[in-house]
């Protein structure tokens, strides 16, 4: 290998300067400074503007619907609550005057039966609420948010009857069970 001398370095710099100058001169030939120097571009723009616009798609045909005149003004309004008072007085209803018990603030599916106390006819269930407190439950107590009254306590389950709205202003009794939690 041969070392580059100062004279060779000066030649390389001069050669690089000439190449740079030629490159700049070549690039400057394509740059236009006035609008009249780009006839091809102006010609193309004029041709594009002169082209006719493509035709628009036709509007869709609107479907004609059959008109209907409502003539049932004399009939009962199906959305009024007047019909719910006819037969709703005889069925079961929640007792609004009854004081709510502690376990009625929790949904029934969030309560877990964890065990029992006693035996025979006097079985008391142990129920753990979501607040991690264990409560004693016996027949006559209330559980859940649907006025669920405990009817029976067994060693493996609690049976109760809930009151749920029937959708027509009345109430229906629905049986429910809370089973002993498997560990």
Alpha carbon of residue 55 to chain centroid: 43
pLDDT at 44 over 50: yes
CA dist 23 and 36 (Å) reads: 25
CA 171, 112, 153: angle at the middle one, nearest 5? Answer: 65
Q: Is the pLDDT of residue 104 over 80?
A: yes
* Residues 49-85 pLDDT 10s: 999 988 999 999 988 888 888 888 788 877 776 544 4
| Count of alpha carbons within 13 angstroms of residue 97, beta-carbon side | 0
For the cut 60, the answer to whether the pLDDT of residue 24 exceeds it is: yes
Q: Residues of the chain with pLDDT > 70: what percent? A: 84
For 14-41, what is the mean pLDDT? 72
The token duo for 107 is 């949904």
Band (29; pLDDT cuts 50, 70, 90) = low
Amino acid 39: pLDDT: 78
What would the DSSP string read from start to end of 84-141? GGTTTTSS----TTSPPPGGGGS-GGG-EEEEEES-TT--EEEEE-TTS-EEEE-TT-
45 versus 70: the higher-pLDDT residue is 45
* Buried-exposed string 38-54: b where 16+ CB fall within 10 A, e elsewhere: eeeeeeeeeeeeeeeee
What percentage of the chain exceeds 90 in pLDDT? 36
């Amino acid at each position: 290998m041969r070392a580059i001398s100062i004279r060779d370095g000066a030649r390389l710099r001069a050669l690089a300067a000439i190449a740079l100058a030629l490159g700049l001169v070549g690039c400057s030939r394509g740059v236009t400074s006035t609008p009249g120097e780009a006839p091809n571009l102006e010609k193309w723009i004029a041709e594009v503007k002169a082209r006719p616009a493509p035709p628009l798609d036709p509007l869709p045909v609107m479907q004609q619907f059959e008109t209907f005149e409502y003539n049932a003004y004399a009939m009962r309004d199906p959305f009024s609550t007047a019909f719910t008072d006819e037969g709703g007085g005889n069925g079961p209803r929640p007792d609004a005057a009854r004081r709510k018990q502690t376990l009625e603030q929790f949904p029934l599916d969030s309560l877990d039966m964890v065990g029992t106390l006693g035996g025979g006819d006097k079985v008391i269930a142990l129920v753990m609420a979501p607040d991690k407190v264990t409560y004693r439950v016996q027949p006559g107590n209330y559980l859940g948010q649907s006025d669920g009254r405990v009817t029976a306590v067994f060693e493996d389950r609690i049976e109760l009857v809930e009151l749920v709205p029937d959708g027509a202003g009345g109430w229906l009794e629905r049986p429910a069970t809370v089973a002993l939690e498997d560990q």
